[in-house]
């Protein structure tokens, strides 16, 4: 009875709040500063790239692919990256052979088999920590362990450089990227929905059958993407190679047998870049080093593109 | 061995709810049933089943007997432990690390949780259909063929796949795209594929965990018809939220609910287990009646 209900003109209220958009200087300034940060970081990248490409252009203009297919010499007119490229590819192959099975196996154990207790969590945390260890530390490990190991098992070649070859370098870099492989493979396995596992167990499959037939195939794209990226990381790594005695000098691998190449002295593309940038002849520093960097970048770019293509092709919405 | 359950119909073994009336032989009291149930032998005998998830006591003191070639429905509100009980029948709870099961479930007289029982073998005899259709991300054919293959089936696999799909009322819809992805099927088709996959291993029991809850009414109806057809050869235990579904398809119904203890802990208990028509027309327990008439609260 008594209380009078105040009538609100809803339409008028809505109209009032929708019209008359106000200028918001704080928001605008924030947006502008975010944009500025993006542009600055992009500018740094672009400058770097422009510098490298600018330095590399004369080399590719004058010599074309001859630069890629020539070996290392002291003569800046004929020196090329072929030896380094070969060494890097060989090292990366060793990395793949060692790190793939170990990394994927470890990830499968951690995700599918290990009990979910504090020990497992402790291990997982420390694998993440390992991924952050400076690469030079792995170089020291490689020098102390793998160089000797490779020599001991007879793959070390001979002479003062015994054990310092692509095998020990590959094993060292494999250990370096192992945490990355384990982490990415674990994430890919974890992304496979439990419903798939339940379906497998539900028809009487053992754990191994569920993993082998359902979980692994479903996780394969993610696992592959991660491992390709890990390989790219190994391909561009320099510091550990310097520690474990990559040859930065000049040597010929032209007529050597595969075994000799595997067990003998070697070099790698990033190390070639480093070596050239320290040469007295300015042609090395100003043109050949940027050209070698460009070759390195192209290889990494192709690897990343392959990883992205793989992921997009097989990516599944669960 | 038969102290808790006898073969002549005393299947309605009780929960331990306060004020519970001792169970009576079904055959003596059921007069409102249109056709009497065949006196099927027990396939599962559950005694004093308790399930804990870590500290959480999920299911307490469940005893019941499940009969062969019948459809047994487990109903009740969310959190009452009906799915947990279902997953005990094929040791699916083993996959949950913190789950602990005590009490006993006898399957054809063998204690499922006995020391020398391999859960993998259990699941080959007791198939399962899950709440959400979960086909393998593979072809339709491979979905059905996987179970028999790993079980070492050496007969005509093509024929088995066709039979299983036919049995699951899916063959006509998929026979031209057996190598197509199972994910291209509709939800209802996927669920029937999962049923085909479950029966391809020639199980003895099929467990269904709310098999129609993510399907539309037409697909639901097809699944229900399929269940009627399947019970000729299999024993089916189904968990459902849908009371009408339980009333439509099942021969016996177990009603579970949540007991809140003084400590505030919530535990699933079996309130009443009887022939479906009795549960829905003349339940003995007030709590059952409240639930089926929608006065649950």
Kindly report the three-state secondary structure assignment for every residue of A79-127. CCCHHHHHHHHHHHHHHHHHHHHHHHHHHHHHHHHCCCCHHHHHHHHHH
CA distances from A20 to A14, A23, B192 (A): 12, 9, 58
- The pLDDT value given to residue B179: 93
Which has more pLDDT, B32 or B82? B82
- B121: distance to nearest CA of chain A, Å? 6
Domain ranges in chain B are 26-292
Question: Quick one: tokens of B40?
Answer: 């099927």
- The pLDDT value given to residue A70: 80
Report the domain count for chain A.
Answer: 2
pLDDT at B187 over 50: yes
Residue A205: closest C-alpha in chain B = B120
CA distances from B11 to A175, B27, B178, B294 (A): 62, 10, 43, 26
The SS3 call for residue A20 is coil
Suggest the residue from B120, B126, B151, B200 to mutate for an interface test with chain A (most A CBs closer than 10 A).
Answer: B120
The closest alpha carbon to B140, from B166, B173, B174, belongs to B174
Which residues are CB-neighbours of B20 under 8 A, at least 6 positions away? B14, B271, B285
Q: Does residue A37 share a domain with residue A173?
A: no
Q: Does residue A217 share a domain with residue A190?
A: yes
Average pLDDT over residues B3-20: 38
| Chain B neighbors of A214, CB-CB under 8 A | 136-137
Q: Does residue A198 share a domain with residue A240?
A: yes
Binary contact (A199, B197; C-beta < 8 A): yes
Domain that holds residue A222: 66-314
Q: Does residue A181 share a domain with residue A58?
A: no
| Chain B neighbors of A215, CB-CB under 8 A | none
- A202: distance to nearest CA of chain B, Å? 6
Binary contact (B134, A199; C-beta < 8 A): yes
CB-nearest to A213 from B97, B135, B146 is B146
Q: Does the CA dihedral A287-A291-A294-A296 come out positive or negative? A: negative
CB-nearest to A206 from B95, B120, B136 is B120
Binary contact (B197, A196; C-beta < 8 A): no
Give pLDDT tens digits for A53-105. Answer: 998 888 888 888 888 888 777 777 788 888 888 888 888 999 999 999 999 99
Question: Quick one: tokens of B272?
Answer: 């009443």
Suggest the residue from A192, A202, A222 to mutate for an interface test with chain B (most B CBs closer than 10 A).
Answer: A202
Average pLDDT over residues A206-214: 94
Which has more pLDDT, B95 or A245? B95
pLDDT category of residue A221 using cuts at 50, 70 and 90: confident
| Chain A neighbors of B137, CB-CB under 8 A | 196, 214, 217-218, 316
Give pLDDT tens digits for B157-177. Answer: 999 999 999 988 899 999 999
DSSP state for residue A6 in the 8-state scheme: P
Chain A positions contacting chain B at CB under 8 Å are: 115-116, 193, 195-206, 209, 213-214, 217-218, 316
For residue A13, tell me if it sits in a domain.
no
Q: Does residue A43 share a domain with residue A73?
A: no
Distance CA A229, CA B30 (A): 70
CATH code given to domain B26-292 = 3.40.50.300
CA angle A284, A289, A291 (to 5 degrees): 115
For residue A307, tell me if it sits in a domain.
yes
CA distances from B121 to A44, A196, B162, B231 (A): 62, 19, 24, 22
Q: Does residue A248 share a domain with residue A176?
A: yes
For residue A145, tell me if it sits in a domain.
yes
Binary contact (A204, B95; C-beta < 8 A): no
pLDDT at B203 over 70: yes
Cα R_g (chain A), whole angstroms? 28
Report pTM: 0.80
Q: Does residue A56 share a domain with residue A96?
A: no
Residue B120: closest C-alpha in chain A = A204
Binary contact (A199, B124; C-beta < 8 A): no
- Contact by Cβ (8 Å): B125, B205: yes
- B20: distance to nearest CA of chain A, Å? 36
Which has more pLDDT, A14 or A5? A14
- The pLDDT value given to residue A306: 86
Binary contact (B137, A197; C-beta < 8 A): no
CB-nearest to A203 from B123, B132, B138 is B123
pLDDT category of residue A212 using cuts at 50, 70 and 90: very high
Q: Does residue A88 share a domain with residue A199?
A: yes
pLDDT at A303 over 50: yes
Residue A145 buriedness (CB in 10 A; 0-12 / 13-18 / 19+): middle
For residue A76, tell me if it sits in a domain.
yes
pLDDT category of residue A11 using cuts at 50, 70 and 90: confident
Binary contact (A200, B136; C-beta < 8 A): yes
- The pLDDT value given to residue A121: 93
Question: Quick one: tokens of A28?
Answer: 């605008």
Give pLDDT tens digits for B211-270. Answer: 988 888 888 888 899 899 898 899 999 999 888 899 999 999 999 999 888 888 889 999
- A129: distance to nearest CA of chain B, Å? 27
Residue with tokens 């409240």: B290
- Contact by Cβ (8 Å): A233, A173: no
pLDDT category of residue A248 using cuts at 50, 70 and 90: low
pLDDT at A270 over 90: no
Q: Domain holding A75: CATH number?
A: 1.10.3720.10
Sheet holding B42-53, edge to edge: B110-111, B99-107, B42-53, B56-67, B266-275, B252-260, B71-75, B235-239, B205-209, B126-129
ipTM of this complex prediction, to 2 decimal places: 0.82
Q: Does residue A87 share a domain with residue A46?
A: no
Residue B191: closest C-alpha in chain A = A199
Distance CA B168, CA B178 (A): 14
Q: At residue A238, what are phi and psi to the nearest 5 degrees? A: -120, -50
Largest CA distance in chain B: 60
Mean pLDDT of chain A: 85
- The pLDDT value given to residue A318: 52
Residue B203: closest C-alpha in chain A = A203
pLDDT at B188 over 50: yes
Binary contact (B198, A201; C-beta < 8 A): no
- Contact by Cβ (8 Å): B91, A198: no
Percent of chain A with pLDDT over 70: 89
| CB-defined contacts A:B, below 8 A | 67
Chain B positions contacting chain A at CB under 8 Å are: 90, 92, 95, 97, 120-121, 123-124, 127-128, 130, 132, 134-138, 146-147, 150-151, 194, 197-198, 200-201
- A179: distance to nearest CA of chain B, Å? 26
CA distances from A107 to A118, A219, A233, B95 (A): 17, 11, 19, 19
- A302: distance to nearest CA of chain B, Å? 29
- Helix orientation angle between A82-108 and A166-190, rounded to the nearest 10 degrees: 40
């Amino acid at each position: 009875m008594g209380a009078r209900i105040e009538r609100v003109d809803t339409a008028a209220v809505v109209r009032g709040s929708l019209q008359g958009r106000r200028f918001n200087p704080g928001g605008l300034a924030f947006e502008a500063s975010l944009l500025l940060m993006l542009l600055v970081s992009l500018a740094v990248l672009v400058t770097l790239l422009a510098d490298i490409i600018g330095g590399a252009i004369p080399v590719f203009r004058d010599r074309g692919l001859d630069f890629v297919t020539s070996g290392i010499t002291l003569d800046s007119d004929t020196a090329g990256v072929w030896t380094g490229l070969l060494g890097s590819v060989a090292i990366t192959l060793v990395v793949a052979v060692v790190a793939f099975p170990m990394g994927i196996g470890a990830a499968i154990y951690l995700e599918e088999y290990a009990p979910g207790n504090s020990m497992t969590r402790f291990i997982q945390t420390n694998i993440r920590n390992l991924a952050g260890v400076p690469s030079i530390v792995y170089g020291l490990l490689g020098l102390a362990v793998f160089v000797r190991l490779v020599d001991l098992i007879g793959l070390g070649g001979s002479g003062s450089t015994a054990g310092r070859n692509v095998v020990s370098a590959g094993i060292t870099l494999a250990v370096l990227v192992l945490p990355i492989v384990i982490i990415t493979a674990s994430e890919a396995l974890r992304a496979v929905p439990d419903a798939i596992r339940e379906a497998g167990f539900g028809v009487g499959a053992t754990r191994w059958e569920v993993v082998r037939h359902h979980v692994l195939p479903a996780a394969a794209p993610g696992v592959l993407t991660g491992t390709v990226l890990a390989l790219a990381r190994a391909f561009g790594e320099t510091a550990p190679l310097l520690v474990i005695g990559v040859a930065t000098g000049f040597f010929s691998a032209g007529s050597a047998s595969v075994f000799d190449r595997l067990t003998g002295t070697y070099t790698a593309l990033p190390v070639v870049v480093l070596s050239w940038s320290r040469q007295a002849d300015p042609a090395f520093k100003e043109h050949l080093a940027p050209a070698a960097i460009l070759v390195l970048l192209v290889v990494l770019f192709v690897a990343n593109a392959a990883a992205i293509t793989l992921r997009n092709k097989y990516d599944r919405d669960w | 061995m038969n102290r808790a359950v006898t073969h002549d119909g005393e299947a309605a073994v009780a929960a331990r709810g306060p004020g519970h009336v001792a169970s009576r032989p079904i055959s003596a009291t059921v007069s409102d049933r249109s056709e009497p149930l065949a006196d099927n032998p027990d396939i599962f005998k559950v005694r004093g089943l308790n399930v804990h998830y870590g500290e959480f006591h999920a299911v307490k003191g469940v005893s019941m007997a499940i009969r062969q070639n019948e459809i047994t429905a487990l109903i009740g509100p969310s959190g009452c432990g009906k799915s947990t009980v279902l997953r005990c029948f094929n040791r699916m709870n083993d996959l949950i690390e913190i789950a602990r099961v005590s009490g006993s479930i006898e399957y054809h007289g063998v204690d499922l949780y006995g020391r020398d029982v391999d859960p993998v073998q259990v699941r080959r005899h007791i198939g399962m259909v899950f709440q959400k259709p979960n086909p393998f991300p593979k072809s339709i054919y491979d979905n059905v063929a996987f179970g028999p293959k790993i079980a070492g089936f050496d007969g005509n696999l093509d024929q088995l796949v066709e039979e299983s799909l036919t049995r699951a009322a899916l063959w006509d819809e998929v026979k031209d795209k057996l190598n197509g992805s199972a994910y291209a099927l509709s939800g209802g088709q996927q669920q029937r594929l999962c049923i085909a996959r479950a029966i391809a291993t020639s199980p003895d029991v099929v467990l269904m965990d709310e098999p129609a809850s993510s399907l539309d009414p037409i697909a639901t109806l097809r699944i229900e018809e399929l269940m009627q057809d399947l019970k000729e050869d299999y024993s089916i235990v189904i968990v459902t939220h849908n009371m009408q579904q339980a009333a439509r398809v099942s021969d016996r119904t177990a009603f579970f609910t949540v007991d809140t203890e003084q400590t505030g802990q919530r535990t699933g208990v079996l309130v009443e287990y009887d022939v479906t028509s009795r549960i829905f027309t003349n339940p003995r327990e007030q709590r059952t009646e409240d639930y089926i008439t929608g006065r649950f609260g």
